[in-house]
Structure 1
Amino acid sequence: MEPKEWYYRLGEQTFMVSTKPELLSHDFIQDSFADPIMYWAKPVSSENLKIMLDNSCLVGLYLKSPEPLPSSESPVAPLQSPFNFTQIGMARLVTDYTTIAFLTDVFVVPEHQGKGLGKWMIQCVKELTDAMSGLRRIMFMAKNAPHAVKFYEELLDAKVHDQERSQVVFMSNRTAGLDA
């Protein structure tokens, strides 16, 4: 799948969602995995992180710095932005890009939560999965909390699958007219 980028302006700040692997901050990902908010994850070895990233579609959420990078003697490469982007969030799809996608590791740093950025990032993920024409199912697990369930029901048209008493719920989105 070709890399994609989306931009969003909020006040004076510009945010970007991108699937370009070269923009990912391995330190950010490892720090996110160590954050108690991502209770389901933990940091992995550098080798395993590389394998994970090579075999997933990782969507990065970035904040653009207010100033361009200092000019240097070498011109900016045509595909390189003259601005610095700092990673502030992510969502990962484990997928074959054809029939199935498992959404995991959705995270936005606390100082940028509550601004609608997580919602926007998931809308970008939905645009990616909508482009996978043969996709049968998007699966994921979410905290069994009304706000979390509602978030994914609204954004991904997902349904909870028979786990009412658990702290985590399995959710999925059916497409291609599959039976229940």
Structure 2
Amino acid sequence: MTLPTEEQTIKTWTNGPYTISTDPTLIPLETLNKWFASDDFYWAKDLPLPALEQSLQNSLCFGLYHTADSDNDNDNSFIGIARCITDHVTFAYITDVYVHQSHQGKGLGRWLVKCIGEATEAMPHLRRSMLFTMDWGRSVPFYEKVLGMEVAECKRGEGMAMMMRKGRGYPRSMDG
């Protein structure tokens, strides 16, 4: 096992009563798993808690928290998440970007994604960041604008092929 590089150290951003931290140990597993089991996370499903914990430990996580009372550091409410599956050097796959509905419409999703952009831009040898979305109306324009991402054309025999194989953890709701 290698020691964490500078790019892998815990980072924190603050915006008024909101904080984003890359410390995966702050993320309440039970709450996140309830989100995964909800209709809001149409692209995922809940996991056994040890598997969920392992997925967070093996990812670059961005937990979003709201502090109701700024004088009480322990009064943090978990309200959002994003994960990057990454080697911290050449590749980052962005997934599970979510802000709880009670805090949507405040620019927090944009801020969360900008923090991802800042963290991945700090990787000097990054070859590519990727994500998948089926939301052409909202998500595609959002990621184009906020992260400068482009839709990869998937024409057989030309350019990059966006490919996948469905595993046992693939949510059936995605089969349409």
* Bin of the TM-score, shorter chain as denominator length: 0.7 to 0.9
Which of 60, 83, 101 does residue 92 from structure 2 map onto?
Answer: 101
The 5-angstrom pairing of residues 5-20 of structure 1 reads 5-9=12-16, 14-20=17-23
In 1, distance between residues paired with 2:107 and 2:74?
23
Whether 2:105 is the aligned partner of 1:114: answer yes
Query: Equivalent of 1:145, from 136, 155, 160?
Result: 136
1:43: which partner in 2?
46
Q: TM-score, normalised by structure 2?
A: 0.79
Cα RMSD of the aligned pairs, angstroms, is: 1.6
Residue 146 (structure 1) shift: 2.5
CA distance in 2 between partners of 1:26 and 1:144 (Å)? 26
- Whether the aligned pair in 2 keeps the contact of 1:90 and 1:107 (CA below 8 Å) is yes
- Equivalent position amino acid for 1:3 in 2: I
Correspondences of 1:1-180 after superposition (within 5 Å): 1-9=8-16, 14-66=17-69, 68-69=71-72, 82-162=73-153
Question: For 1:16-67, what per-residue CA distance to the aligned partner results, in whole angstroms no more than 9, with x for missing partners?
Answer: 0110122111112101111212111011001211211121111000000226
Q: Is the 8 A contact 2:30 2:49 kept in 1?
A: no
Separation of aligned partners in 2, 1:126 and 1:28: 25
SS in 2 for 1:41: coil
TM-score by length of 1: 0.78
C-alpha distance in 2 between matches for 1:114 and 1:160: 25
3-state SS in 2 of match to 1:27? helix
Q: Distance in 1 between matches of 2:74 and 2:31?
A: 18
- Over residues 114-153 of structure 1, what are the superposed CA-to-partner deviations in whole Å (9 max), with x where a residue is unaligned? 1100000000010000011100000001233232111000
Q: SS at the partner of 2:130?
A: strand
Greater percentage in strand: 1
Query: 1:120 & 1:62 partners in 2: Cα distance?
Result: 12
CA contact under 8 A between 1:67 and 1:83: conserved in structure 2? no
| Residues 15 and 62 in structure 1, CA contact (< 8 A), matched pair in contact too | yes
Q: What stretches of structure 1 of length at least 5 have no aligned partner?
A: 70-81, 165-169, 171-180
**Counterparts of 2:24 and 2:130 in 1: how far apart (Å)?**
23
Q: Which runs of 5+ in 2 are unaligned?
A: 1-7, 156-161, 163-176
Query: Sequence identity, in percent?
Result: 36
Post-superposition offset of 1:111: 1.1
Higher relative contact order (CA 8 A, sep 6+): 2
What is the CA–CA distance in structure 2 between the aligned matches of 1:135 and 1:50, rounded to whole Å? 26
Q: Distance in 2 between matches of 1:127 and 1:133?
A: 12
The CA distance in 2 between the partners of 1:145 and 1:103, in whole Å, is 16
